[in-house]
Amino acid sequence: MAKSRVCSLPAPTSGGATQDYTVAGIGTATCIIVVLSGATSATSPDDDAIISVGVASNPQSGTDQNSSHIQSEDGQGNHDNDRRSDDDVVGRILNTLGQVDGEVTVDSWITDGVRLSWDNFPTNAIKCTVHIFDDDIEFETGEVTLNASGTTVLDVGFQMTTTFWHQTGTAFTATKSSANAFLCFGCTTYDGSTIRNRGFSYGERSSAGSGDPRSVFWNNRFGCNLNLGSSGSILSEHHVSAVGSTDMTITASGGGATYGYLAIKTPAGQGCFVDDYLSPTSTGRFDLDGAGWEGQSCIVVQSRIKSADVNSHVTSNDAGAFSIGMGDAHPTDSRPNGAEEQGAAGWANDDGAGTVDLESYCTDRGVILCPQDDGGTGADVQAEDYEAETDGGSLNFDEVDTGNGRLLWAWQMQEEPESGQQFMMSPMSG
């Protein structure tokens, strides 16, 4: 049965161009998800906000990879930001001019993981977190342009159990960055009967003053496009509405978009599950329940949106922070020196007065990191140590917002059974 593990390391700024991300026992790796942060520490953030998310897979010949990246410059009277999507790299760091300041591609697929090539070294230290899947997974990576209205059929060659989606509202053949920061990252799961779509979108308008960040948290869509003008309204919504034996049907309302995607199929009887949760207001372990089986790994998107704001855009300072994190329940598996089994990249924007105050955060110990958006240093909401439970997994929240829970969505993959145990499919729920 299939394995998935996480390996998180600081990216090199000099020296050898390649870096190995491995976890003992994976065997032949076939596909990955990569998250880059503009910082290496939750307590020592970078002064500019930078984040990148990408996917790659290992076909019979060559490597398919694509990614989306945004940046916003600190200390400006108005927002100075950029976005870009690419079909030839798995991760890219943009500098404050929107230029490439570090990019990473798949060099080769190696035993127990992947060798990444830093074709341009980032100027400053960044954190690279890689989620690795083994060869019991069926997979496809690519880009799809959705019809502006109605449906689009995406044929991946198998009945998917999970598809991850990302976009910035630009073409994936971009040769330069576009103004405005916008990033959409979402997930769809299918257990043979129930389709579950979850997503998060974040946007900032260039040359705008205070009150401009906006976020959207979806519990029934994997993505959307935002009006990056003054209204900040939702322009279009996208979700998987049907899954066939070799394809899926995507329904668009209000307009299309081009997404990069990674579709996977776990072996028969091994489930994947995505759901939304409200982060706790007191510290301690918090259950990501609902799967109906023991979890082995997770991908978590943490927002600063309160439950009352779900599925509506938010344009207050509360919307100015989010993170993407990944972790697994096997911390003792051997990894390269200095590597961790969890990592998260965070973005914070405090633009309430005077100059825009932007920061990147990252942690090598937490799979959730929702940074301060009020000029403070550190995380408002942070969790670590994903552990397997009988019903999914749990996270240890060591930083919380005591006044409000914040919406997050979490994807989990079922653990391999011990000898003699049987798999359970995930429960049917909306």
Return per-residue pLDDT of the chain as tens, 430 residues. Answer: 999 999 999 888 776 789 999 999 999 999 999 999 876 665 666 667 788 999 999 985 667 999 999 887 765 555 667 888 999 999 988 877 767 778 899 999 999 999 999 887 777 778 899 999 999 999 999 999 999 989 999 999 999 999 999 999 999 986 777 778 889 999 999 999 999 999 999 888 776 655 567 888 899 999 999 887 766 788 899 999 999 999 999 999 999 999 999 999 999 999 999 999 999 999 999 999 999 999 999 999 998 887 766 655 554 444 578 889 999 999 999 999 989 999 988 887 765 545 555 555 655 446 777 766 555 556 678 899 999 999 999 999 988 888 888 889 999 999 987 544 444 444 433 3
Distance CA 308, CA 335 (A): 41
Total domains in the fold of the chain? 1
Q: Would you state the pLDDT for residue 134?
A: 96
Sign of the C-alpha dihedral computed for residues 305, 311, 317 and 323 taken in this order? positive
Assess if residue 427 is contained within a domain: no
Assess if residue 430 is contained within a domain: no
Assess if residue 419 is contained within a domain: no
Domain with 223 in it: 4-414
Distance CA 333, CA 316 (A): 42
Distance CA 27, CA 113 (A): 7
Assess if residue 35 is contained within a domain: yes
Q: Would you state the pLDDT for residue 37?
A: 83
Distance CA 360, CA 378 (A): 10
b/e burial code for range 341-373 (CB count within 10 A of at least 16 → b): bbbbbbbbbbbbeeebbbbbbbbbbbbbbbbbb
Other C-beta atoms closer than 10 Å to the C-beta of 395 total: 29
Q: Would you state the pLDDT for residue 429?
A: 39
Using CA atoms of 368, 373, 377, 382 in order, give the dihedral in degrees to the nearest 10: -20
Q: Would you state the pLDDT for residue 223?
A: 95
Distance CA 97, CA 82 (A): 8
**Phi, then psi, of 221 in degrees rounded to 5:** -140, 155
User: Residues near 227 by Cβ (< 8 Å), separated by ≥ 6?
Assistant: 233, 234, 235
Q: Residue 106 to residues 33, 81, 142, 213: CA-CA distances in angstroms?
A: 11, 27, 15, 33
Assess if residue 423 is contained within a domain: no
Assess if residue 334 is contained within a domain: yes
End-to-end CA distance of the chain: 26
Q: Would you state the pLDDT for residue 147?
A: 94
Q: For residue 156, which of 27, 221, 59, 15 has the smallest C-alpha distance?
A: 59
User: Coil, strand, or helix at residue 310?
Assistant: coil
Assess if residue 185 is contained within a domain: yes
Assess if residue 43 is contained within a domain: yes
Q: Would you state the pLDDT for residue 30?
A: 94
Joined together, the tokens standing for residue 307 give 């439950």
Q: Which amino acid is at 329?
A: A
Q: Residue 303 to residues 73, 146, 151, 255: CA-CA distances in angstroms?
A: 21, 26, 29, 25
